Structures are given as structure tokens and as C-alpha cells.
């Protein structure tokens, strides 16, 4: 017997082989053995990928018998609409497996092709089918690991595939010293370039391009790389309006402007979710988008963030709540492509303070008003609602990163889950205890009846399964590690990301045409010194020194000299002010810490114009409900950045000082702008891109996706929920650093982008 026939005996019953022979003229079926899995190709049906499920041949078509009952169930029939298949499977699942679907794993690292015991426990013990992937060793490892996970899932009852997901992973980290990431002129990569994945400017940098078409290309590239890795859901885009300039997550947004944000979010979701040529948009090239964070997380009082209890309150002093919804309801929920709307939504941790007409003030994931009445009923959202990570957990102090049950602190863990489900939530982010969800199910049954409990939980299961069906995972969840290596970080995708990096850089000052500088001009780069500090997560950062532009890279563009006297120009690379997070930890003899201002200036700042009484406030662990910091002084750990610019200018005299500022959120320019001859705002790009602009190889074209405030008074007096409401800095050349401002070699840019969005 020929080898292929011997193999067919292993995967098909004899009767199926005979039937296959009889109908092969109408639907040609072939098989392909891959490393660890098998593909069945059929010219009139989808490719099937499997490891252990039996194959059924009906009417000449191949299907996977995922529940191994010998018949073709509706959910196994790829000819049926995804909605019908999802409903059929949900109706068959026992409650414990439905509860597993309604859980989302904590972040997992992929260092090996073999899933860890913890990964396997998520799948086999808790019945989780949504895995959040964090770090991946390399593309081949990520793909092989995904295949191993899918094989485990296929062997389980019902054979439900895993819906692997990722937080944004195609962005640089915003540091000032990422070198050598671009295709070289001869078509080869620089030896220091990474091939792990294509790198693009941070989200606010994408906004700085003011180019929806570029955002579409970004989504197309990201979706291709994700699918090659076995990732079928993106925990993105972050559609929040960053209307408070102090918010630490400003860098992850697509600006503070509703119109620009809306257009970029729409293009991203459309590109990520659409499989070209598909009738309804969905298919094997689609990646589900979980748009976040409903109804907008950029209005935390005083810029504090809700990952901690100190930032649990989102406030609306400008009565501008509805405006925050625009990127969602007019962007992510109104796509131009066939998929229609983003397939999932993540509410933010915050309490949308005093927005619920009933008077209830609870975190968005617990709020029936925010989820059911507003999102589902008013705006007719049909997709999955998944909470942000850890909201049903417990915590001890407002300054400790633990659970985030804002507003429902007194409820038990199971009661918090019940509260989420009553609000209309389908899934709990970062929750992996199935027993607690089963307990919440029983609480629902005791409160509303057993029939109601089954109906409610089955509804969520149907929504969750639909997102797995639509991306084709039930037919073929397996990916080729070799292809992943070829696709992820390929030259074409790297080049596209690099082009976007170039387009994201904003030149806001160019006094007396300080830029561009001539090739091989003599450059002086002063040593940058940063004092010890602390991260937002309260991890200490030791003091350090650096030359942000490495000498090897810098020498490819200019001649490096050791003193200002020898130089034609100076290149000073700094970062936006690094202050605290709005709170000072309690000392050894203190029960509580104290609230602090979040400063956007380098020098010491005293909050003279802050509110005397906070709008939101109070926590069971706090004695006072007033979170005011009026009169309190804040200092940054990198005041040396500002001093370095001023000192370099003093040493350089009339010779140009070029300042590069790595920007994660707005800053007050007045402290260093007079000492700068040219300023480039960098939203997370590699140094090659910056040097290409400084040397004149590329003309700057980015526009400010934010306002740069005149001082901290205007920051304190602006409304957390209102975009573009600050007095902006005016520089020595009379230019106002306002939204949509930018310079090229000829002067102020006034193209179609400015006319459309300014």
C-alpha cells in the first residue's frame, strides 16, 4: 500500500475513504503532515487542522468530530453561520465549562515550546480558553507553543480551541536610546536590529502622523504578525481620550482629540478584524479587537491612574462625559468593513463618578448603568464585554497594586463576580478560579432562579464562542513555526514600521534653521545623568548615566567631538519630567501616605492652584475623603535633563543646541525651550529615525497630538474630561505649541491633516 494510503487508514474510517473516493471529483481533499499536526485541504471548504479529533466525511466534505460522538453536530459544521454554531455549542456545555470560558488567564510568558504546568492547569483544570500572552522568546517558539496549547484543547471534551491574545507588542518602549532598527540601504538589516516583530511608534506617536491610512497599514501588519504567532485577539486599541495631560497612560492613546482618535481607532479595528475577500469580513486572517477602556479612562481626577485605589475616581468637571464615548460609538462600533464593530470591549477600572442616574458609584465593570443600560441598550453593542484585569480581587491599601474592586469593596469575591454578571459582563480579566465563578452562578440561581442562571451564562458563552468561530479556530487553530519566523518582523513589515516612526517625529522649534545639520558636521553629546527614582509600580530605579545616542551609531552620521568648543552643534537627548504618581507612600511612623501633585515640569512644583476639595474621594482604608494636595510640593528625578539643556547652551554660545525629548505625555516647555535652537518631539522611535531627520535625510512631518501647556497653573485649572482646554506655550519664535502644530524645513505645516483636525 502506498504510504499516503497507509496514513489515510489512520485518520479516516474505511467507509469514509470509500466515500471520499466517490466524491473527490466534486470536492478535492488532500492531506499534509506538519510538525505535530495534520492539515486537510479541500477545494470547496476550509482547511482543517487537527491532532486528535476524528474526521467525518459528509456529502464529500471533511469535518472535525470535536466531541467525538460520531455525528456532525451543528457547531462542528463549518457550512453553518457562526452564530448558529456558537448557540449550539453553548447549549451543550456544562456550567463549569461555561464558567471557564468566562475567565481570562493572567499574563503568561512563552519561553519554551512546551506549556508549563501552570498553563496546562488553566486549560484542563479551570477550563480557560482565553490565554493572555506576554513575553515570547521568538516567533518560532511562540507558534510552536500555541500549537501545543491547541492540541491540549482539542483533546478536551468539546474540543474548544484557545483564543490566544496579546496586549500591544509592536511598539518601542519610548526610551531615548533604541538604536539600529531599520532596513539598511542595501536591503539588509542592521546587525543590531531585532527581528522579533515590527516596531512602530507608540500609539500617541501614531496619532502624531495624523494619517488614518497609515493606521490602516499598521493594523494590517500587526494582524498578520499576530496570526502567524497563533494570536487571535488583540487587547487593543486603547481608544480612551487622554483629556487629562497628567495621566500616565497618555502614551497608549490616540490623542486627546475625539475626531482624530475616532478615525484612527476605526481604521485600526477594520484592518485588524477584516479578512480580505470574506463576505462578512471574518476569516482566517482576522484578529478580534478588544477596544478599551469603556467609557474612557483618561479622566482620572488630577491625572491619577485607577490601577491603584488612589486613582479610582474618574471625574467630569466639564460635564463632558458623552464626548468621551466618541472614539467608541463613532469609531470602534461603526466600522466600514463587514465585521461591523469591535468584537470585544474592556471597561476601565475607574468609578465614573456621579454618572449613574441611580446614584450608584461603582467601578465600570460592576456598573449595570455603564455596561447594560449605556453600552448594550443605548448603543446596541452586541459583542463580548471583558473586565480589566483583577477587578474581582481584594486589596489592602490604596497604594498597593492588588485587586481593584472599586465601589464594591465590602462584597465577597463571589459576590463581586455576581455583580459583574448582573451588570452585563461576559468575562473576567485575569481571573482563573472557576470555583468562585460557579459560586457566583449558584448565587444567581438562588436570586433569580435556575432557569435564569442557565440562560444568562449561556448568553455569555455564545458571545465568547462566536469570537472563536469567526476567526476560524474551530477549523484550524494551528500555525506553522517556520512561516511565523518568515512573517514576524520580516523586512517589509519592519520597513513599514520604520516609515511610521519617521512620520511620527514632530519638530516644534527650528530657530534660524538649526536643522538639518550637514553630514559629518562636528557634534557634541553631553552626558545625561538621572537621579534615583521610583516607577509607577513602586519599583526603585537606581541613578544612572548615559550617552543616549551611542557613539557607534552617531558616528555614522556626524563626527563626534569631546568638547563644546570643537563642535558645530550639540545634541541633547532628554525625557519628559519623571515625577511621582500622585501619592507619597507612608513613612515608618505613618498610618497613611499623602496625595501629591503630578508635575509636568522639571523644577520643584508647588500645587498653589489645585482644588481645595477633591471631587471624588474616599476609600475604606482611608480616614479622609478629601484627596486634595493643594500647597504640596513635588520634585522630579530628572530635573537634570532641563539643567543639561541650559548648561549645554551656555557652553555652546551661539552654536545650535538640538534637543530631542522622548515624550510619553505633555510637558511644560518653558524651562528649557529658550535654551534650545531646535526641538524634536519623539513618541517612541529608534535613534536611527531621529538621526535621519537631524541629518536632513528625511523631512519632519509629524504634528502635535496634544497641547504643551504654558505652565502648571493651566494644567491644574483644565478639566479632566475636556480636550484641548489648556493655555499653550508660545516659544521665542512666536509659535504656539498647540494641538496639530508642527514644522517642516519650510516652516509651519498647514496641509490637509491640519485643516481636517485642527
Average pLDDT over residues 553-565: 96
Confidence of residue 540 (pLDDT cuts 50, 70, 90): confident
C-alpha cell at 269: 479595528
Confirm if 744 and 698 have CB atoms less than 8 A apart: no
Structural domains of the chain, ranges and CATH numbers in brackets: 3-80 (no CATH), 100-174+210-430+457-487 (3.20.20.300), 491-584+636-757 (3.40.50.1700)
Per-residue pLDDT tens for 626-652?
Answer: 999 999 999 999 999 999 999 999 999
Alpha-carbon span 688 to 707, nearest angstrom: 26
Average pLDDT over residues 224-248: 98
674 pLDDT exceeds 60? yes
Q: What is the CB-side half-sphere exposure of residue 202 using CA atoms within 13 A?
A: 21
Average pLDDT over residues 666-688: 96
Alpha-carbon span 168 to 722, nearest angstrom: 26
**Other beta carbons within 10 Å of 513:** 10
Cα dihedral sign, 139-142-148-149: negative
Alpha-carbon span 606 to 618, nearest angstrom: 23
Task: Point out which residues pair with 300 in neighbouring strands.
Answer: 314
Per-residue pLDDT tens for 279-333?
Answer: 999 999 999 999 999 999 999 999 999 999 999 999 999 999 999 999 999 999 9
Alpha-helix residue ranges (DSSP H) falling in 313-449: 326, 368, 413-423, 434-448
Q: What is the DSSP string of 111-126?
A: -SSSPPHHHHHHHHTS
Distance of CA 268 to the CA centre of its chain: 12
User: For position 9, what pLDDT does the model report?
Assistant: 34
Q: What is the CB-side half-sphere exposure of residue 471 using CA atoms within 13 A?
A: 29
Q: What is the DSSP letter of 248?
A: G
pLDDT > 90 fraction of the chain, expressed in percent and rounded = 89
Alpha-carbon span 83 to 611, nearest angstrom: 51
Cis omega (within 30 of 0) on the bond before 28? no
Alpha-carbon span 269 to 220, nearest angstrom: 10
Per-residue pLDDT tens for 404-458?
Answer: 999 999 999 999 999 999 999 999 999 999 999 999 999 999 999 999 999 999 9
User: For position 536, what pLDDT does the model report?
Assistant: 76
R_g over Cα of the chain: 28
Alpha-carbon span 475 to 76, nearest angstrom: 8
Alpha-carbon span 8 to 285, nearest angstrom: 29
Confirm if 502 and 496 have CB atoms less than 8 A apart: no
Alpha-carbon span 75 to 87, nearest angstrom: 8
Residue with cell 475626531: 259
Confidence of residue 185 (pLDDT cuts 50, 70, 90): very low
Q: What is the DSSP string of 310-328?
A: GG-EE--TTS-TGGGGHII
Per-residue pLDDT tens for 513-527?
Answer: 999 999 999 999 999
Name 237's Cβ contacts closer than 8 Å, sequence gap at least 6.
Answer: 203, 254, 264, 265, 268, 269, 289, 291, 292, 332
Confidence of residue 5 (pLDDT cuts 50, 70, 90): very low
Alpha-carbon span 130 to 161, nearest angstrom: 9
User: For position 550, what pLDDT does the model report?
Assistant: 85
Mean pLDDT of the chain: 93
Per-residue pLDDT tens for 150-184?
Answer: 999 999 999 999 999 999 999 865 333 344 445 44
Q: What is the DSSP letter of 363?
A: B
Task: Point out which residues pair with 32 in neighbouring strands.
Answer: 39
The region that residue 663 occupies, defined by phi over 0 for left and psi between -120 and 50 for alpha, beta otherwise, is beta
Confirm if 77 and 62 have CB atoms less than 8 A apart: no
740 pLDDT exceeds 90? yes
Pairing outcome for strands 351-352 and 540-541: unpaired
Confirm if 695 and 207 have CB atoms less than 8 A apart: no
C-alpha cell at 529: 545623568
Per-residue pLDDT tens for 357-376?
Answer: 999 999 999 999 999 999 99
Per-residue pLDDT tens for 681-732?
Answer: 999 998 999 999 999 999 999 999 999 999 999 999 999 999 999 999 999 9
Amino acid at each position: 500500500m502506498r504510504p499516503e494510503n497507509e496514513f489515510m487508514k489512520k485518520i479516516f474510517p474505511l467507509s469514509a475513504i470509500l466515500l471520499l473516493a466517490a466524491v473527490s471529483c466534486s470536492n478535492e481533499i488532500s492531506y499534509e503532515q506538519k510538525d505535530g499536526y495534520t492539515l486537510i485541504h479541500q477545494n470547496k471548504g476550509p482547511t482543517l487542522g487537527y491532532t486528535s479529533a476524528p474526521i467525518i466525511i459528509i456529502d464529500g466534505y471533511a469535518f472535525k468530530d470535536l466531541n467525538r460522538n460520531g455525528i456532525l453536530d451543528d457547531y462542528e459544521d463549518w457550512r453553518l453561520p457562526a452564530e448558529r454554531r456558537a448557540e449550539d455549542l453553548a447549549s451543550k456545555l456544562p456550567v463549569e465549562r461555561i464558567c471557564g470560558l468566562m475567565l481570562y488567564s493572567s499574563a503568561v510568558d512563552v519561553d519554551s515550546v512546551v506549556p508549563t504546568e501552570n498553563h496546562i492547569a488553566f486549560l484542563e483544570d479551570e477550563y480557560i480558553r482565553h490565554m493572555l500572552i506576554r513575553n515570547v522568546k521568538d516567533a518560532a517558539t511562540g507558534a510552536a507553543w500555541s500549537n501545543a496549547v491547541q492540541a491540549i484543547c482539542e483533546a478536551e471534551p468539546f474540543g474548544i480551541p484557545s483564543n490566544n491574545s496579546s496586549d500591544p507588542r509592536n511598539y518601542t518602549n519610548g526610551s531615548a536610546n533604541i538604536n539600529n532598527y531599520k532596513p539598511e540601504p542595501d536591503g539588509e538589516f542592521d546587525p543590531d536590529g531585532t527581528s522579533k516583530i515590527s516596531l512602530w511608534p507608540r500609539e500617541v506617536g501614531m496619532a502624531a502622523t495624523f494619517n488614518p491610512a497609515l493606521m490602516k497599514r499598521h493594523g494590517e501588519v500587526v494582524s498578520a504578525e499576530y496570526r502567524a504567532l497563533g494570536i487571535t485577539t488583540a487587547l487593543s486599541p486603547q481608544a480612551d481620550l487622554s483629556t487629562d495631560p497628567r495621566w500616565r497612560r497618555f502614551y497608549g492613546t490616540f490623542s486627546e482629540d475625539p475626531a482624530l482618535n475616532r478615525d484612527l481607532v476605526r481604521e485600526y479595528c477594520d484592518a485588524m478584524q477584516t479578512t480580505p475577500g470574506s463576505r462578512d469580513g471574518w476569516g482566517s486572517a482576522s484578529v478580534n479587537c478588544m477596544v478599551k477602556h469603556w467609557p474612557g479612562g483618561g479622566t482620572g481626577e488630577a491625572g491619577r491612574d485607577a490601577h491603584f485605589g488612589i486613582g479610582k475616581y474618574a471625574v467630569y468637571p466639564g460635564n463632558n462625559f458623552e464626548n468621551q464615548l466618541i472614539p467608541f460609538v463613532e469609531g470602534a462600533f461603526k466600522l466600514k468593513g463587514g465585521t461591523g464593530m469591535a468584537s470585544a470591549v474592556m471597561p476601565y477600572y475607574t468609578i465614573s463618578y456621579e454618572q449613574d442616574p441611580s446614584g450608584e458609584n461603582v467601578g465600570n465593570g460592576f456598573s449595570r448603568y455603564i455596561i447594560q443600560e449605556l453600552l448594550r441598550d443605548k448603543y446596541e453593542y452586541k459583542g463580548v464585554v471583558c473586565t480589566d484585569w483583577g477587578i474581582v480581587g481584594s486589596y489592602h491599601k490604596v497604594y498597593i497594586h492588588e485587586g481593584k474592586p472599586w465601589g464594591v469593596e465590602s462584597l465577597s469575591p463571589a459576590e463581586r463576580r455576581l455583580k459583574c454578571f448582573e451588570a452585563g459582563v461576559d468575562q473576567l480579566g485575569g481571573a482563573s478560579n472557576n470555583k468562585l465563578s460557579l459560586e457566583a452562578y449558584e448565587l444567581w440561581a438562588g436570586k433569580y432562579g435556575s432557569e435564569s442562571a442557565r440562560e444568562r451564562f449561556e448568553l455569555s458563552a455564545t458571545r465568547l464562542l462566536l469570537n472563536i468561530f469567526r476567526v476560524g479556530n474551530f477549523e484550524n487553530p494551528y500555525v506553522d513555526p517556520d512561516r511565523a519566523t518568515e512573517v514576524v518582523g520580516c523586512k517589509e513589515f519592519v520597513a513599514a514600521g520604520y516609515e511610521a516612526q519617521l512620520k511620527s517625529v514632530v519638530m516644534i522649534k527650528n530657530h534660524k534653521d538649526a536643522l538639518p545639520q550637514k553630514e559629518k558636521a562636528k557634534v557634541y553629546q553631553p552626558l545625561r545623568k538621572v537621579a534615583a527614582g521610583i516607577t509607577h509600580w513602586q519599583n526603585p530605579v537606581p541613578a544612572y548615566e548615559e550617552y543616549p545616542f551611542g557613539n557607534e551609531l552617531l558616528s555614522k552620521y556626524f563626527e563626534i567631538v569631546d568638547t563644546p568648543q570643537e563642535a558645530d552643534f550639540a545634541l541633547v537627548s532628554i525625557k519628559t519630567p519623571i515625577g511621582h504618581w500622585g501619592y507619597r507612600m507612608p513613612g515608618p511612623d505613618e498610618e497613611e501616605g499623602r496625595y501629591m501633585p503630578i508635575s509636568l515640569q522639571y523644577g520643584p512644583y508647588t500645587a498653589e492652584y489645585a482644588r481645595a476639595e477633591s471631587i471624588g474621594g474616599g476609600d475604606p482604608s482611608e480616614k479622609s475623603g478629601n484627596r486634595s494636595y493643594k500647597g504640596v510640593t513635588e520634585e522630579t528625578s530628572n530635573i537634570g535633563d532641563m539643567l543639561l539643556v541650559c548648561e549645554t547652551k551656555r557652553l555652546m554660545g551661539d552654536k545650535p543646541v538640538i534637543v530631542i525629548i522622548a515624550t510619553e505625555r505633555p510637558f511644560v516647555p518653558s524651562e528649557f525651550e529658550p535654551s534650545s535652537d531646535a526641538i524634536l518631539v519623539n513618541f517612541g522611535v529608534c535613534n536611527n529615525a531621529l538621526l535621519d531627520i537631524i541629518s536632513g535625510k528625511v523631512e519632519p512631518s509629524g504634528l502635535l497630538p496634544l497641547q504643551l501647556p504654558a505652565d502648571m497653573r493651566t494644567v491644574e485649572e483644565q478639566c479632566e474630561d475636556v480636550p484641548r482646554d489648556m493655555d499653550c506655550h508660545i516659544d521665542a519664535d512666536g509659535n504656539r505649541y498647540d494641538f496639530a502644530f508642527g514644522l517642516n524645513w519650510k516652516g509651519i505645516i498647514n496641509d490637509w491633516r491640519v485643516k481636517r483636525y485642527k
